[in-house]
């Protein structure tokens, strides 16, 4: 019986040593802290909330007018010399106006992955999502740099808190192709 107990203790010690954890790997993880992205490979939810509006108006008006006029008349004794008159006039005018306006609004959620951690602790993230519905493909890509304090308690970050953000929404399919110019129009634009 003594041998069985000693053998059981040896097996237990070997098994515990083989399955032991390295506590240094869990230093940044607390049972009482929110699970936020802090290392390369961690995931973070990006809440894309972008609204842009721009307008520009320009107006120009220019007038220029010049007149040259010459009149001559004369009389010698009783005979009349015909009256001579000469007139030259030029008028230049220009009026121009232009206006541009642009509005945009984007709302989406996309999961991104931490690619690397910079020396100051900021996180470099990238994310991709492709959605295909009825043959229409929509791709959303984003990349940028996030400060760890900007990550909310639920491990999400707003897109306006991403530095050097690049957010692209692109589509491809029947509807997208119908909205573009035809090949003849493209050829004419290329030539002229």
- Segment 137-179, tens digit of pLDDT: 889 999 999 999 999 988 999 999 999 999 988 888 766 666 6
| pLDDT tens digits for range 5-42 | 777 788 776 666 655 555 545 555 566 666 788 888 89
CA 102/CA 52 separation, integer angstroms:
8
Q: What pTM, to 2 d.p., does this model score? A: 0.55
Task: Kindly list the domain boundaries of the chain, sorted by start residue.
Answer: 61-99
- How large is the average pLDDT for residues 65-85? 59
Query: Which residues 6+ apart lie within 8 Å of 33 measured at CB?
Result: none
End-to-end CA distance of the chain: 99
């Amino acid at each position: 019986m003594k041998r069985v107990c000693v053998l059981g203790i040896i097996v237990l010690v070997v098994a515990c040593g083989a399955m032991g954890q390295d506590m240094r790997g869990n230093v940044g993880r607390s049972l009482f802290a929110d699970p936020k992205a802090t290392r390369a490979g961690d995931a973070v939810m990006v809440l894309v909330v972008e609204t842009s509006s721009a307008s520009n108006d320009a107006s120009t008006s220019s007038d220029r007018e010049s007149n040259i006029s010459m009149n001559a008349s004369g009389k010698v004794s009783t005979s009349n010399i015909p009256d001579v008159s000469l007139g030259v006039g030029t008028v230049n005018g220009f009026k121009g106006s232009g206006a541009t306006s642009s509005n945009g609004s984007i709302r989406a959620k996309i999961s991104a992955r931490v690619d690397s951690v910079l020396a100051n602790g900021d996180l470099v993230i990238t994310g991709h999502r492709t959605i295909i519905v009825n043959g229409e493909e929509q791709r959303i890509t984003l990349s940028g740099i996030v400060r760890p304090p900007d990550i909310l308690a639920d491990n999400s970050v707003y897109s306006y808190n991403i530095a050097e953000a690049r957010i692209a929404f692109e589509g491809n399919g029947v509807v997208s192709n119908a909205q573009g110019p035809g090949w003849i129009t493209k050829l004419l634009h290329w030539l002229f």
